[in-house]
Amino acid sequence: SNDDLLEAIQSGDWKTFAKIYNGPKYKKNKYDEKLKSAYDDYAEQQNEIDRKIKAAKEFWDSEYKKLLDNESKLFYQK
């Protein structure tokens, strides 16, 4: 059923998902392994994107703070 498919995919149970979705030949065609591999690749790419976003935010926050500090110094020098 759709609920079983949803539960399987949400829990990462690729064997159950492939068995329900693809039928008995899922094992011969290694659909469960292919799903897991595709998910792992996606998750790895997403983790890399998240790391880059975090690094960019940290850099921006640091540069913005420097800019504010410099503007503050310029303002008070006048």
Residues 35, 18 contacting (CB under 8 angstroms):
yes
14-22 helix and 31-77 helix, angle to the nearest 10 degrees: 120
pLDDT at 58: 94
Q: How many residues does the chain have?
A: 78
Left (φ > 0), alpha (ψ -120 to 50) or beta: where does 58 sit?
Answer: alpha
Domain boundaries, the chain: 2-77
- What type of residue sits at position 3? D
Q: What is the pLDDT of residue 55?
A: 96
Between 6 and 75, where is the model more confident?
6
pLDDT digits (tens, 9 = 90+) for 35-77: 999 999 999 999 999 999 999 999 999 888 888 877 767 666 6
Rounded to whole angstroms, the Cα distance separating 18 from 31 reads 6
Region 15-29: what's the mean pLDDT? Answer: 96
Q: What is the pLDDT of residue 6?
A: 97
